[in-house]
């Protein structure tokens, strides 16, 4: 199992941003729904043999029903220097955005994702100019809803909380700072289970555990809600299946105060806390350079949800739901913390520093065309996804082996059923679904439950993720 080291990233002083600067990740379709046929290789079935299989990754997680995380109140502002405790001081001050395009805009590519469960479910039409009522999302597993996630958070004191977030990379979720660091529950979260497109007790794309988290000391040290924002890095790149949002920043008030903004979350009472709801409209006001305000009270469980807007046909998160703010004139308002130029730069740097600069092929989501298959027959409809989580491309042949295991820890010591290869030109953080077709089952197998999985053979940037362990193997019954 990969270690879940907790990292603290503390932000530098935020200077004035340009009159209009924005950055984000487009969720355009970059061959994420592409498929390729496997090329079977000659060879015989090789039976399982003794050996150390190593630690299992991506274990199946129980679907939890934690109490929704309450929203904090707003406090005074005090953002501090950027520092990584394990590396001492990294730098101070502001960090300008990195990739300037026309009109000061910045864009980082995102993706639609691979699966097409239920087709495409468009956003609810806005009901009012300002954020209106919450609308039940009938198909949370459909695009683009599936890019929104539910968080089950365990704290050092043993308490569990439920919250929301949004994928902005296949391995990174943006959320609120108090969803990863709680002053009331003992500090840094000890465990976070992320479920994209959660639908009640169903996890249509599986889950992913946190590997690392990041926040700012404006929140972690000073409990300053103007800096209540964070990232969760995932062990399993589940965003390869769902797609992910773009993200951006701007100092333009009119950008936030004009329609249309969308926000998907998992609100608690009087709602279910595990069903997705959406609201749409525009922000009422920008109280300062860090926040955007809605004239309505937030509900526990909405914490960390991303507010996104269209640029062309792509969706970009610019702020995350943070806290309630009470004033005498309006009563209780709900504030979202915005990505500033400084924070945007820190997010880009954090993700880039943890993205391999040479190819890293990760197989995911093995499927079969049924559950019950005969000995001496074939498992039909076999397919899986291969995702390149790196900043580099890879063009050429990829050799793969198909294994049958008595457990969901797929290894070279399991029964080798088939060898095949496929040819594909991978871009950075792109994917392809590989159609294997039929795989022969030996006639001498003992009837019972097995797991079918694959291991990609080329040595790459991270060999430990070359097999489909846990929830990425498919369970079948051999009779």
* Residue-wise DSSP of 139-176: -TTSBTGGGEEEEEEE-TTS-EEEEEEEEEETTEEEE-
Contact 402, 468 (CB under 8 A): no
How many angstroms separate the CA atoms of 162 and 323, rounded? 15
- Distance separating alpha carbons of residues 477 and 479, to the nearest angstrom: 6
Asked, as a colleague might, if the bond just before 15 is cis with ω within 30 of 0, I would say no
How many other β-carbons are positioned within 10 Å of the β-carbon of residue 46?
Answer: 15
Per-residue pLDDT tens over the stretch 105-162: 344 444 666 554 555 666 765 555 467 789 999 999 999 999 999 999 999 999 999 9
Q: Give the pLDDT confidence of 151-207 residue by residue, as tens digits.
A: 999 999 999 999 999 999 999 999 999 999 999 999 999 999 999 999 999 999 999
What pLDDT, on the 0 to 100 scale, is given for residue 331? 73
Quick one: which of 77, 95, 46 has its CA closest to 335?
77
Q: How many CB atoms lie within 10 A of CB 135?
A: 16
Q: What's the CATH code, domain 356-478?
A: 2.60.40.10
CATH code for the structural domain at 22-28+60-353: 2.40.10.10
Report d(CA 446, CA 7) in Å as an integer: 47
Q: Which of 229, 311, 278, 305 is nearest to 24 (CA)?
A: 311
Give the tens place of pLDDT for each residue, 341-366.
889 989 999 999 999 999 999 999 99
The label of the residue with tokens 């209780």 reads 332
Residue 322 pLDDT greater than 90, yes or no = yes
pLDDT digits (tens, 9 = 90+) for 48-89: 656 555 665 666 666 666 677 676 655 333 333 332 222 222
Q: What is the pLDDT of residues 396-408, one digit of tens each?
A: 999 999 999 999 9
For residue 122, give the DSSP letter. Answer: P
E-strand spans in 355-473? 361-367, 372-373, 378-388, 394-405, 415-426, 431-440, 448-456
Q: How far apart are CA 33 and CA 356, in angstroms?
A: 23
| CB distance 355 to 375 below 8 Å | no
Quickly state the pLDDT bin for 295 (edges 50, 70, 90): confident
Q: Domain coordinates of the chain in residue numbers?
A: 22-28+60-353, 356-478
Neighbours of 140 (CB within 10 A): 27
pTM for this entry: 0.83
HSE, side-chain direction, 13 A CA sphere, residue 82 = 19
């Amino acid at each position: 199992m990969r270690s879940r080291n907790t990292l603290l990233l503390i932000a530098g002083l935020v200077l004035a941003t340009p009159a209009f600067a924005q950055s984000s990740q487009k969720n355009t379709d970059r061959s994420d729904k592409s498929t390729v046929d496997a090329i079977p290789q000659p060879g015989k079935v090789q039976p399982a043999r003794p050996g150390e299989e190593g630690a299992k990754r991506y274990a199946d997680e129980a679907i939890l029903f934690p109490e929704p995380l309450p929203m904090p109140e707003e406090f005074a502002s005090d953002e501090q220097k950027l520092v990584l405790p394990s590396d001492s001081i990294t730098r101070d001050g502001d960090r300008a955005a990195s990739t300037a395009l026309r009109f000061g805009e910045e864009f980082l590519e995102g993706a639609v994702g691979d699966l097409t469960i239920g087709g495409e479910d468009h956003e609810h039409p806005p009901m009012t100019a300002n954020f209106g009522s919450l609308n039940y999302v009938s198909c949370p597993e459909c695009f683009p809803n599936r890019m929104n996630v539910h968080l089950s958070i365990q704290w050092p004191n043993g308490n569990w909380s439920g919250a929301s977030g949004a994928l902005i990379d296949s391995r990174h979720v943006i959320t609120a700072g108090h969803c990863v660091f709680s002053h009331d529950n003992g500090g840094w979260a000890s465990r976070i289970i992320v479920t994209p497109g959660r639908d009640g007790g169903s996890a249509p794309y599986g889950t992913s555990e946190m590997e690392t988290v990041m926040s700012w000391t404006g929140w972690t040290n000073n409990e300053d809600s103007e800096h209540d924002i964070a990232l969760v890095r995932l062990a399993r790149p589940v965003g390869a299946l769902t797609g992910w949002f773009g993200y951006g920043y701007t100092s333009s008030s009119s950008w936030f105060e004009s329609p249309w903004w969308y926000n998907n979350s998992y609100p608690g009472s009087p709602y279910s806390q595990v069903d997705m709801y959406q609201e749409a409209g525009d922000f009422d006001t920008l109280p300062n350079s860090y926040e955007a305000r809605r004239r309505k009270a937030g509900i526990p469980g909405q914490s960390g949800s991303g507010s996104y807007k269209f640029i062309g046909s792509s969706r970009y998160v610019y702020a995350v739901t943070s806290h309630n703010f009470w004033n005498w004139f309006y009563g209780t308002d709900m504030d979202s913390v915005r990505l500033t130029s400084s924070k945007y730069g820190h997010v880009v740097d954090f993700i880039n520093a943890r993205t391999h600069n040479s190819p890293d092929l990760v197989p995911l989501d093995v499927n079969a065309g049924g559950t019950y298959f005969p000995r001496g027959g074939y498992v039909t409809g076999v397919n899986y996804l291969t995702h390149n989580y790196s900043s580099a491309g890879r063009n050429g042949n990829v050799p793969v082996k198909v294994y049958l295991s008595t457990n969901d820890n797929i290894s070279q010591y399991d029964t080798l059923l088939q060898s095949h290869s496929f040819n594909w030109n991978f871009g950075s953080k792109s994917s392809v679904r590989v159609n294997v077709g039929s795989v022969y089952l030996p006639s001498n197998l003992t009837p019972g439950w097995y797991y079918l999985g694959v291991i990609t053979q080329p040595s790459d940037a991270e060999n430990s993720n070359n097999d489909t362990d846990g929830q990425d193997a498919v369970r079948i019954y051999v009779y």
